[in-house]
Structure 1
Amino acid sequence: MELKSLGVIGGMGPKATSVFVDQIIENTAADRDQEHIDMVILNHATLPDRTSVILGNRGEVFLEAVAKDLKLLEMAGVANIAIPCNTSHYFYNEMQQMTHINIINMVDETLGEIYSTFGEHCKVGILATNGTVSSGVYKKGCSKYNMELHVPNEVVQEHVMDIIYNKVKRNLPVEPTEFEGIINGLLVNDNCNCVIIACTELSLIPLRDDISQYCVDAMAVLVKKSIELSGKHLTER
């Protein structure tokens, strides 16, 4: 299998990018340095906040900034690009039109995995930023697979945003039981069949096995696809 280099546009947020890269390394079957994936990582932390530009209808501000990253990765000769940020995928089509390099679509890959596991007509809860939720990218994708997307109520969504912006992004500790309680509410009270962890900051919070079995982590899906498209195998667990 041909080995291909991977470009990463990160910084959204920086900690999530660090964990994404670590997971690429940890999940790549390799016995020595030379068997790992070549990566070009752009930790562009000053990219405009995705939720703000979406809600403010100022997408061109983000696209102008990320265009430079796409050009740099083209010059570096990467074969695929991973962007470990769900909200940025609101601009997926525009970004893909800016470059001939394949940008891995984290949203499509995640929904495809949910469909293959839970099937048609399943009810899918989503935990994400206001930007991701309001963008409709996951709702549109669910419709393609005949799945129902369930958005948390206003109180729960506010709690999720507090965890993302006031705790994880500030590098403050999050009690896993707090986040697990939100997930359990979607599963039990709202009758969801599964829950998408659709924010890379939320992916940093460890979950108990009995909770995680009903969750599909978009970042984990992106890790898997990035390894496969780079011509490598996943480690056996």
Structure 2
Amino acid sequence: MKHFFSIIGGMGTIATESYVRLINHRVKIARDQDYLNYILVNDAQIPDRTAYIKDHSKTNFFPDLKDDVLGQAKLNPDFFVMPCNTAHYFYNDLAALTDIPFLHMMRIAVHKFIEEYPKESKIGLIATEGSIYDHLYEDEIHRVRREVEFGGPEIQPMVTKLIYRDIKEKGIVEGKLYHQILQKMHDDYGCNVILLGCTELSLAQEKAPDHPYNVIDPQSIIADVSIELALKIRNGMDPKEACAKYMYK
């Protein structure tokens, strides 16, 4: 197969399925051959990311990701994409395993926020406890000189329930709960823009988009970027040149 990219997924599987569905339905097609070429590694056995980030006595998930990336690198994809925010805890280590471009979903999303809302001085963040605990998004937002609002102590339990109890465990999106979280972040904590710092939250946005709030959806953004890069490379652009635009330092 010529000109394909590798998706390091399975974190979780339903969220990865959402990403694949987005790229399949957003690319403009008139025939089968217009779809994108990609290999999906849906490694559902990768240990829990949040558990390890919060407690290093838990199983480290890096070795599994390392094996997946090195295995795919042998096939020489044009670039890597990893539709899991929390797994970017090991982004630098994973990207260093190969000279193949590895997109940073969180960094790309934060720069999209700056482009779309240049006058906003802060952004609300809802995410897994792991992402928040290790400042994964917070650091990226501070790098572009913006502030982060996490909301009050009632927000994280609501977000955790939506991510783990509903989506990961039951495979359902509770749209009412999702909208309630967004409303509280907007009304109670003054967030004009809210960043969805977990791909399960991106799935909630896909399934329950009928709300009036401004969101930055990293999975939706990385899906569009994946399509853009894949088509540029298919049309003859060098992969590293194509990806350079999004390799923010």
Matching of residues 139-218 of structure 1 within 5 Å:
139-205=138-204, 206-212=207-213, 214-218=214-218
Given that residues 120 and 145 in structure 1 are in contact (C-alpha distance below 8 angstroms), is that contact kept between their aligned partners in structure 2? Answer: no
Bigger RCO of structures 1 and 2 (CA < 8 A, at least 6 apart):
1
CA–CA separation in structure 2 for the residues paired with 1:157 and 1:66 = 27
The C-alpha deviation readout for 1:183-232, integer Å capped at 9, x for no partner, is 111111101120011111111223344435x0011100110111112125
Shift of 1:57: 2.6
TM-score of the superposed pair, with normalisation by structure 2: 0.87
SS in 1 for 2:195: strand
Matching of residues 26-175 of structure 1 within 5 Å:
26-57=25-56, 61-119=60-118, 122-175=121-174
Given that residues 6 and 38 in structure 2 are in contact (C-alpha distance below 8 angstroms), is that contact kept between their aligned partners in structure 1? Answer: yes
CA–CA separation in structure 1 for the residues paired with 2:131 and 2:220 = 17
Shift of 1:60: 8.0
Partner of residue 18, structure 2: 19
TM-score of the superposed pair, with normalisation by structure 1: 0.91
CA–CA separation in structure 2 for the residues paired with 1:226 and 1:174 = 25
Partner of residue 230, structure 1: 230
The C-alpha deviation readout for 1:118-153, integer Å capped at 9, x for no partner, is 115522111110001112121111112111111132
Given that residues 122 and 192 in structure 1 are in contact (C-alpha distance below 8 angstroms), is that contact kept between their aligned partners in structure 2? Answer: no
In the TM superposition, structure 1's runs of 4+ consecutive aligned residues that sit over 4 Å from their partners are: none
Given that residues 14 and 171 in structure 2 are in contact (C-alpha distance below 8 angstroms), is that contact kept between their aligned partners in structure 1? Answer: no
Q: Which amino acid aligns with 1:52?
A: A
Q: Which amino acid aligns with 2:89?
A: Y
SS in 1 for 2:169: coil
Shift of 1:172: 4.2
| Residue ranges of structure 1 left out of the alignment (5+ in a row) | none
Given that residues 158 and 177 in structure 2 are in contact (C-alpha distance below 8 angstroms), is that contact kept between their aligned partners in structure 1? Answer: no
SS in 2 for 1:201: helix
Shift of 1:173: 3.0
Identity %: 27
| Residue ranges of structure 2 left out of the alignment (5+ in a row) | 234-249
Distance 1:97 1:59, change over 3 A: farther
For the aligned residue pairs, the C-alpha RMSD in angstroms reads 1.9
Distance 1:60 1:181, change over 3 A: closer
Q: Which amino acid aligns with 2:208?
A: L
Given that residues 164 and 201 in structure 1 are in contact (C-alpha distance below 8 angstroms), is that contact kept between their aligned partners in structure 2? Answer: yes
Given that residues 164 and 202 in structure 1 are in contact (C-alpha distance below 8 angstroms), is that contact kept between their aligned partners in structure 2? Answer: yes
How many residue pairs get matched? 230
Given that residues 121 and 146 in structure 1 are in contact (C-alpha distance below 8 angstroms), is that contact kept between their aligned partners in structure 2? Answer: no
Distance 1:48 1:60, change over 3 A: closer
